[in-house]
Structure 1
Amino acid sequence: MNTEGVDGTKTSTNNVMEARDILGIEAARSTIAHEIGEVMGDMDIDPRHMQLLADVMTYKGEVLGITRFGLSKMRDSVLQLASFEKTPDHLFDAAAGMKTDKIEGV
C-alpha cells in the first residue's frame, strides 16, 4: 500500500469486500476470520473453526455467504447442499439430474 500519508502496517478494515478488492481474496479470508472472532468475543471457540469457516466462504476465489444462496453457488457437492437447508429439494434435483457426489472427506 503506497498511499501517501497512510501507514499500511497500522491500517485495518472490517469491510470484507474492500479487503478483497484492494488486497485480494486471502486478505478477505483473513478479515472474515478476524471479524468472526470479534463477534464471538469471549466465547471459547477454537480459532481453527473460525479459519475453517472463512476458508469455506472464500475457497472459490470469491466471497460467498453461508446462506442457502451462497451455498448454492458451491455446487460441487450434492450432500453439502442437502446438509444445510431444503434437503428434500436438493436431493430430488440431484436424483432427477442423475448427479453424483465424490465423497472425498468428512
Structure 2
Amino acid sequence: MNRKLVELANSVYLVMEYCNGGDLADYLHSMRTLSEDTIRLFLQQIAGAMKVLHSKGIIHRDLKPQNILLSFAGGKKSNPNNIRIKIGPKAGFIVKKDS
C-alpha cells in the first residue's frame, strides 16, 4: 500500500492508493440487501482498520458509509470475498498527541 502524509500550511493530507470500488454507500444502494456473512465480513474489516488507526493514535472524525472506500481484488463486484475495505480520509482524521 502506498500512503503518504503531506503537511501544507495548517493542513495535513493523507494520500493513499486508488480504490476502484467507490464507497460503501454506493455499494449498499446498488446491492439493496446484503447477507449476514457479507455484513460480518465488512464489519470485521472496518473494525480491523479502526483498530490499526487507534493503535497509531489516529481518530476518524466522521465514520460513515460514504467515508468507507472499497477496493475490488478481482472478480465480480457482487462477490464480497473480492472486496477490501479502506477507511477514507474524506472528513479528516484527528491525530492524538501525547503530552
Higher strand share: 2
Q: Same fold (TM over 0.5)?
A: no
Higher helix residue share? 1
TM-score, normalised with respect to structure 1? 0.29
Structure with more contact order per residue of length (Cα contacts < 8 Å, sep ≥ 6): 2
